[in-house]
Amino acid sequence: MKNSSQITGLPIISIADGQQIGAVKTLVINPEKGTIDFLTIEHEDWQVSVKAIPFKKVVGIGEYAITVETDNAVIDLNEIPIANQLVNKKIKINQTKVMTRKGALLGEVIEFYADDETGQILGMDLLVGEKQVTMPSEYVLTYGKDIVIVKEDAEQGFLENHELLEAEKSVELDTIHQEEAAASEEQNNVQLDALKNKQVELLVGKKVIKDIVGLNGQVFIPAGTILTEDKIHSAQTEGPAVLIELAVNVE
């Protein structure tokens, strides 16, 4: 997680040739997505057109520099209409008023924070009276040029400091990973059930031509048995080795 002041002004280095491309001039905000989409570049040789780097092209944001793979990451904003439109919206976030959707003024943004890997805005520091608080971005409805509009219950979500945003992000990531793991397990179970059903379909009604020994060393299914669904399910429960032995000894 980085705040805007930690990104603005950083040198931009091309990994391919180890040269400085320029320095970050401004952060271009996408108000619909709540993300930093581009970094405009300050360079003494670029006086006419505005150059920028898409945030997705950033390899890393360190303490001393931002790195990109090559200088091919640099684009001319005049050639990318969408990027140019975002720049012209002039969404800055810092020094903007924060107001609820019903018109109650909460305070003023003095800094905002973004995920340094995705550019997603995570939250912002507000000056509320003489007190500084942090508000997670989940309460934001609109990032405007002059005003940030937030939900009515935004005050209930105020945090004591921005470090708690990292904790919330970790909890959110843990939740996502757990959901992905659960979905993956569910998918595996579905595939396993389909495989077992296919095994039953292939073996049911066939005759066993050899005694099948179970895991305990005893005859599990004697030769001459006509396989039923229950017998096949029992073999599946015994394990893959028993089921394979069964599958190769039927006719």
pLDDT digits (tens, 9 = 90+) for 118-144: 999 999 999 998 899 999 999 999 999
Bridge partner list, 27: 39
Summarize pLDDT for 31-82 with one digit per residue, the tens. 999 999 999 987 666 555 678 999 999 999 999 999 999 989 998 877 788 8
Distance between CA 159 and CA 165 in Å, rounded?
8
Please report which helix (H) or strand (E) contains residue 169, including its range: helix 163-203
Query: pTM of the prediction?
Result: 0.65
Distance between CA 67 and CA 101 in Å, rounded?
39
Nearest in space to 118 (alpha carbons), one of 55, 46, 42, 161: 55
Summarize pLDDT for 216-235 with one digit per residue, the tens. 888 888 999 998 988 888 88
Nearest in space to 93 (alpha carbons), one of 54, 57, 59, 135: 135
Give, in order, the Cα–Cα distances in Å from 1 to each of 48, 103, 228, 232. Answer: 33, 31, 60, 55
Distance between CA 31 and CA 146 in Å, rounded?
12
Nearest in space to 118 (alpha carbons), one of 72, 162, 60, 174: 60
Per residue in 191-204, is it b (16+ CB within 10 Å) or e — as a string?
A: eeeeeeeebbeebe
pLDDT given for residue 121 in this prediction:
94
Nearest in space to 121 (alpha carbons), one of 96, 149, 99, 93: 93
